[in-house]
Amino acid sequence: MRELADDLLGWIEEGRAFAVASVITTSGSAPRQPGAALAVDDGGEAVGSVSGGCVEGAVYELCREAIRTGEPVRQTFGYSDDDAFAVGLTCGGIIEVLVWPVPPASPAAAALGAALEAVRRGEPVAIVRVLTDGTGTDPGPGTGTGPQTRTGARADTDVLAVFEDRTLGGLAGGPATGTVAAEVRAMLDAGLTGLRTLGCGGEEVTVFAETYAPPPRLLVFGAVDFAAALTRAGRFLGHHVTVCDARPVFATPRRFPDAHEVVVDWPHRYLARTRVDSRTVVCVLTHDAKFDVPLLEAALRLPVAYVGAMGSRRTHADRMARLRAAGLSEAELSRLRSPIGLDLGARTPEETALSIAAEFVALRRGGSGLPLTRTSGPIHPESRAVPARLSA
């Protein structure tokens, strides 16, 4: 919903009624991921997308109906049938959509507006809806033809906005707001969007949380030509990119115009004082032991997503020996991606940046790094999107 923030805030300020259709689950070759959204206002204006075009018309009509009735609805869209005019996903995937109305000047509008303001400012926030168990028919993979409705979205217009330090809105008839907020904050910290089933007071309640965390960080150590290409790739992929080098003559904003910040400091010292999290990518491109070893000694003990280091296999062997001598365990050393990147046959800085970016994207998304022609089964395995079941 990030790309819809300006439009929805305008509608809220103007007092318009509208409905939002959010993708809440996917399977197979679904065109969009959970969190993709289409919104329609009471004048019929539409913004956003849930399917890249396959079922937009049907979802648009669901939004218009939700505005009229004030009732939310869940609907599943599966495979198209043999009729070319059937409503379904031609890609063969399945998506489940939650359509929820937002009346003007309502608590839902206030909570959503506050959350979207935070999204626009780049602050971490989650937008939460409560669902009940579906009582309709769920088509499931391979059952064929067009959309089937699942009832069971809680029939209220409440929205919960969860910030790092507070919540807005309530969950009418649902679990304690604090229980939901605690779990959603854990999702927010990890940058996860999706369903969670919570055990609260002897019953299970499912919530759909759309989280908006700050962009993941890409820390590039070493102000070299490969770093310049990697900063461009990282920024293109949506990372907040920092270049750090202890040499002021090389670490300049002019040499790295695509970096969000350029820092002159010893790499290990900067890493010790900067914020990292479970999505942070650390790329060490200096291949100089006096910089690399203290930096990697620190980085491999941090809860970051990826640590990679550039260098030949001989450099890598020497580096591993130095790190073992520094006291790192084999488990810690196993996290090091070195030589850095996937085997693309890369030669130029740009090709090398592509190989590095491909590796940390594959690690984040659970990809194999193999050509799709050498794999079988769904392109987007369901195992990567199974909602967790938790107890509070």
Q: Tens of pLDDT along 335-369?
A: 999 999 999 999 999 999 999 999 999 998 888 89
Instruction: Give yes or no for residue 80 having a pLDDT over 50.
Output: no
**From CA 384, how far away is CA 365, in angstroms rounded?**
8
Per residue in 34-77, pLDDT (tens digit) is 889 999 999 999 999 987 667 889 999 999 999 999 999 999 88
- Separation of alpha carbons 222 and 283, rounded Å: 9
Strand order in the sheet with 203-212: 167-168, 160-163, 125-131, 203-212, 194-200, 388-391
The model's confidence at residue 134, banded by pLDDT at 50, 70 and 90, is very low
CB 137 within 8 A of CB 148: yes
* pLDDT at residue 140 in the model: 39
Partners of 22 in beta bridges:
37, 98
C-alpha angle with apex 359: 215 to 300, nearest 5 degrees?
A: 75
Between CA 155 and CA 168 the distance in angstroms is 19
Phi and psi at 269, nearest 5°, equal: -70, -40
Within 10 Å of residue 56's Cβ, how many Cβ atoms? 16
Q: Name the band, by pLDDT with cuts 50, 70 and 90, for residue 380.
A: low
Q: Residue holding tokens 């989650």?
A: 126
Average pLDDT, the chain: 84
Give the model's confidence band at 231: pLDDT under 50 very low, under 70 low, under 90 confident, else very high. Answer: very high
Domains in the chain, ordered, with CATH?
2-212 (no CATH), 217-365 (3.40.50.720)
In the prediction, which pLDDT does 41 show? Answer: 97
What gap in Å lies between CA 141 and CA 79, rounded to an integer? Answer: 8
